[in-house]
Amino acid sequence: MRRPRLFAMSYQSINPYNGELVGTFEEQTDPQLESAIATAATCFERWRLLSFGERAVIVAKAATILREHAEEFARPVTLEMGKLFTESMGEVMLSADILDYYATHAEGFLALERLKPESGEAVIESSPLGVLFGVQPWNFPYYQLARFAAPNLMAGNVVMVKHSGTVPQCAIAFEQLWWEAGAPDGTYTNLLISHDQVLAVIDDPRIQGVALTGGVEAARSVAARAGKNVKKSTMELGGSDAFIVLEDADLDMTVTWAVWAKMNNMGQCCIAAKRLIIVEAVADEFLEKFKAAMEALEPGDPMDESTTLAPLSSEAALVQLLKQIDEALACGATLVLGGKRLDRPGCFMQPTILTDIEPDNPAYREEFFGPVALIFRVKDDEDAIALANDSDYGLGGSVFTQDIERGKRIASRIETGMVFINHPTWTAADLSFGGIKNSGYGRELSRLGIEEFVNKKLVRVSPIDAPA
């Protein structure tokens, strides 16, 4: 594969395992940005005319390259944001699955929909909008890009992406992937740009839609700018997912899943189990088993398969979590485990458990983006549902019970975009992804994901002598 293009300065790769500066990457100038947008706009006029089959060849080829070079793609993920290498490999494979999914299913998803008017004919056509702009975060450096790029490229749009400044090598590698797959220049464009340039891109009349995955404050800025320009947008934001454990749950399996749900990607996941809501009858036993499992995690080099506790993504992320913990404790929370930085190089933090969090504690409403588990005790199903819904967020959630029908009844009353039963909230190409409230709007993945940025055009054939 071709070597990535190196720049110099504003975007930085810092290895969170040891704090070493790996490389610096320069922001693009305004003339370079203008050239990139112009190239994308020109590309769209050609790309939109290709058949689904012609576009699928390129998208499927990109999936093949990801699989054939999985370790090569996975290394910069671990290097730049500290993810366990086994998880980085899993992310590469998941990204390939998403590309293949849309290469296979896009044509069917966007097929003509024939209506049945009282007279004449009518169909709904799905046509691409144009050049789309995405702002993406660091925590899943390829998956976030794949779920934005794959459906929209297969729909006939072209995409431009401003990735996080902390994962520039991953951003460049993903752009290079499309060159290797044979995509024309401008099909997929990585932008190393400033905040001011982000706003300028949204303002540009050649940009027809905006998608952001990130925090609420970033969403307010980006969504407001898109709205000012009357442009369609989707926002996938944070979460404070409830992990509900009922008294009839298989406790050993549930604890295993609870640790995975909390510690996957070191808890730096919008759908991580942020609030563990345990029915009182099993709360003591659950906490004992959960604490023991969290204590058993071993810190080390995330490239080493024996490591089970990776660093956080950055020094800033670690400092933010420590501040949140201190505030929670000052407001009455109980520290059951951890709460401190590990005494070793890198951005390592102890797995942490907090209990006794009252509604007036800031921790009750905040999102803890890391290895911090908040445990709540409740009396019964009704209390569990009420607590799960008492959140500014509404992304995902899960319910653990051996009574599946009971689990379904509870799931239907939880105010989120996703609920899983007997499995933590997770993602797959054929499952819709998105939330409500401060977790954003719009959906990604599945059939719903490819329909966000297409024009659903009615074409009506009416008898010429039909009444007005």
Catalytic residues: 236, 270
Query: Strand runs (DSSP E) across 164-268, as ranges?
Result: 188-191, 207-213, 232-236, 241-245
> How many angstroms separate the CA atoms of 74 and 81, rounded?
11
Compute the half-sphere exposure of residue 340: CA atoms within 13 Å on the CB side of its CA. 6
356 DSSP 8-state letter: -
Query: How far from 150 is each of 157, 423, 450, CA to CA, in Å?
Result: 10, 26, 9
Query: How far from 409 is each of 100, 382, 416, 424, CA to CA, in Å?
Result: 34, 11, 14, 17
Strand partners, 14: 21
Classify residue 2 as exposed, middle or buried by CB count within 10 Å of its CB (0-12, 13-18, 19+).
exposed
Phi/psi for 163 (5° steps) reads: -90, 170
In the numeric block, which tokens belong to residue 439?
Answer: 């977790």
> How many angstroms separate the CA atoms of 181 and 200, rounded?
30
In angstroms, what is the C-alpha Rg of the chain? Answer: 23
Helices (H), 229-305: 251-263, 280-295
Strand partners, 12: 24
